[in-house]
Amino acid sequence: MTVKAMTRLIPALLLSTLASASQQSFSVENARIVSQPSRPLQWGDINIISTTDTHGWLLGHEKASAPEPNYSGTWGDYASFVHHMKGLAVEKDVDLLLVDSGDLHDGTGLTDGFPPGGVDAQDSNEFFKQMPYDVLAIGNHELYKYENTLDMHRNFAPHFQGRYLSSNVNITVFDVNNKSVSVPVGSRFRKFQTRKGRSVTAFGVIFGFTTNDVNTTVQPVDDMVQEPWFLDAIADEPDLFLLVGHMPIARNKWPVVFEAIRKVHPATPIVIFGGHLHIRDCLQLDGRSMSLASGRYMETLGWMSTHASCMASRFLAHLPQASTSSQTTAPETSPSTVVTSTANRITYQYHTNRTEETFDTPQGLNITRGLEDLRDRFDLTYQYGVAPRDYTMTRAPYPSEGSLQTLIVEEAIPTVLALNTTRTGIPSLVIISAGSQRFDIYKGPFTKNDQLTASPFVNEFLYIPDVPFEAATAVLPELNRAGAERLWGQEQEEGEGEGEERQMRLWRQERAVEKGYVEWIGDMQRRYRARAGAALQGELTSGYVTEDSCPGDGDDVPHEPLPVYPVPDFIASRTPEGVDVDKVDLIFVDFIRGQVIRTLNEVQRTRVYSMADTRVYSPVLTNELLGIYAGVAWN
């Protein structure tokens, strides 16, 4: 079986117009209407739909501002789509598989908004379990807290009966004799036959994650491929090796797994579905393989189709797309053509030959209603205020009125802290990490769900009183000059407490993902600008514009690339004004206190500051800040 290298991916405009009047999805009138796909999906002998890094976005993106309507399809819409695609596969007498590459936890109120005593994503995962996945892999967000991992081990993995894979991840539990034992969270691997009788050997692998919670274990990939169970699992040759895992396809340890298999089976087709960096990507490790990463936050589904003599793969911003190619030799030198289209209910209907009246299935409608009931149970529609405009993390310059970082550090923090401190009236300067936010805020109602989505991290506001004005204002530029990575390393070396050190590692992990995503957006923008005639395409809607190492154009519905602007590692509030200001309260969040104190001691020599000099500035926590601010400023 030779491989045809084609893959692209595209942004999705999912217009949620559900048949039931009780559903509260985004209406067509509030979303931009986009063209339907220009040609049908290309089907092969084995076809695979992939998701990754869903992070609780099961009710779709519900805001009206671009590009959010691109991704407004619900998990119920997806379920209806999969149902119809399964039917088409039977009609065409081909195989259709479903895979997911991990990170179901931590993202929206549906995962994070559980009441006290609950477990993150336990309720939302009940809807995930209603999808007929063939292979699922564990992600790092399933390992941040032991109780989450235990829930996946006890409740999630058993439902999928050997299809939830954790090839290199164990959890420590008590056995029937009340003795602690280390066992796989899910299954090591899966061997199965497709509906058409093709044999598949599947693994679920995660990168060398080291910030997992106690009583969970992540084995290095290099060690995993030497395990007797792994060597035994790959001894027999299947029709296809299916590698699904939480690793970027263009880096990390996929080549290690790939080469271990290639030593035994030099020509057996291998397909890889990665994740973690939240980007859309495609590459080939050799002429008989294909690797695909399908984005984030249910903005994208991946589609891969294989034939007896070729393989094609493609992404979509909420579903797969068509692709064709004449390639029969190495992907680097062979021509290929690709057709993709935006993904929305209209596109779902197009690819399943359905209309608005015939698309929704009872299961799909029930899933969306169930998610809406969960939203109500978690009180996620509680409205704090109405945002007057969009505030984005990287699509507006910093500082500017449209920058979320500007809003947080120059408006929200000073306003809220002034209402909740005994230090009212004393000049202050606030310094925070620019990576303290997770998602944009869009014009319109600002709800409990928006607060949980945009600002989930829980930190205290600390301060050092009576810091000389000149020293306080010198801290920020020195922090940014040194860089967050170097300071993180010093934090680890100085060992300022195990809990604080782990929080710093977690922050660094999340920052690396966001940094990778932003770098990818910037690279897509630069490549788009370099295209001949890119500026002559007329007025376009904004969205993802994708190029990768696989041949072919990624978008058949052109988009203006999303803008991206640099943001420093650390940001600060406005400098206190007034000629008489000689001392200020230097305010910062608790998890960067080590860097702040260290830097403060570097920029002045009058006094040596220590942890003992810090105090709690306000009872308000960082994850409460935006809700309080919206109640004050946006009503």
Q: Is the same domain home to 453 and 341?
A: no
Instruction: Record the tokens describing residue 93, joined without a space.
Output: 């007498």
Q: Is the same domain home to 478 and 342?
A: no
Would you say residue 585 lies in a domain? yes
Residue-level pLDDT at 143: 98
Would you say residue 543 lies in a domain? no
Q: Is the same domain home to 101 and 213?
A: yes
Per-residue pLDDT of 370-427, as tens digits, reads 999 999 999 999 999 999 999 999 999 999 999 999 999 999 999 999 999 999 999 9
Q: Is the same domain home to 341 and 198?
A: yes
Residue-level pLDDT at 254: 97
Out of 320, 351, 376, pick the residue that ends a domain: 376
Would you say residue 564 lies in a domain? no
Residue 471 has pLDDT above 60, yes or no: yes
Q: How confident is the model at residue 355 (pLDDT cuts 50, 70, 90)?
A: very high
- Across the chain, what does the average pLDDT equal? 85
Q: Is the same domain home to 276 and 293?
A: yes
Region 80-95 average pLDDT: 96
CA distance 620 to 148: 27
Greater model confidence, 171 or 11: 171
Per-residue pLDDT of 237-281, as tens digits, reads 999 999 999 999 987 899 999 999 999 999 999 999 999 999 988
Region 421-439 average pLDDT: 94
Would you say residue 515 lies in a domain? no
Region 139-154 average pLDDT: 98
CA distance 535 to 568: 30
pTM of the model: 0.90
Q: Is the same domain home to 371 and 404?
A: no
Would you say residue 8 lies in a domain? no
Residue-level pLDDT at 225: 98
Would you say residue 50 lies in a domain? yes
CATH classification at residue 478: 3.90.780.10
Would you say residue 103 lies in a domain? yes
CATH classification at residue 299: 3.60.21.10
Q: Is the same domain home to 151 and 218?
A: yes
Q: Is the same domain home to 368 and 427?
A: no
Residue-level pLDDT at 69: 83
- Residue 473 exposed, middle or buried by CB count within 10 Å (0-12, 13-18, 19+): middle
Q: Is the same domain home to 319 and 424?
A: no
Residue-level pLDDT at 80: 95
Region 169-196 average pLDDT: 96
CB 374 within 8 A of CB 110: yes
Q: How confident is the model at residue 462 (pLDDT cuts 50, 70, 90)?
A: very high
CA distance 111 to 23: 20
Out of 354, 376, 398, pick the residue that ends a domain: 376
Q: Measuring CA to CA, how many Å separate 583 from each of 463, 579, 603, 609?
A: 13, 11, 15, 15
Would you say residue 400 lies in a domain? yes
Query: Where do the H-state alpha helices sit in 283-412?
Result: 345-352, 356-359, 362-377, 404-406
Q: Is the same domain home to 173 and 121?
A: yes
Greater model confidence, 208 or 501: 208
Cβ contacts of residue 35 below 8 Å, gap of 6+?
341, 342, 557
Separation of first and last alpha carbons in the chain? 63
CA dihedral over 51, 55, 57, 63, signed as positive or negative: negative
Q: Is the same domain home to 100 and 219?
A: yes
Angle between helical axes of 469-482 and 593-603 (0-180°, round to 10): 120
CB 207 within 8 A of CB 252: yes
CA distance 503 to 211: 9
Q: Is the same domain home to 327 and 464?
A: no
Out of 350, 376, 402, pick the residue that ends a domain: 376
Tally of domains within the chain: 2
Domain range for 188 is 28-376
Per-residue pLDDT of 207-242, as tens digits, reads 999 999 999 999 999 999 999 999 999 999 999 999
CA distance 306 to 45: 6
To which residue do tokens 């020599």 refer? 605
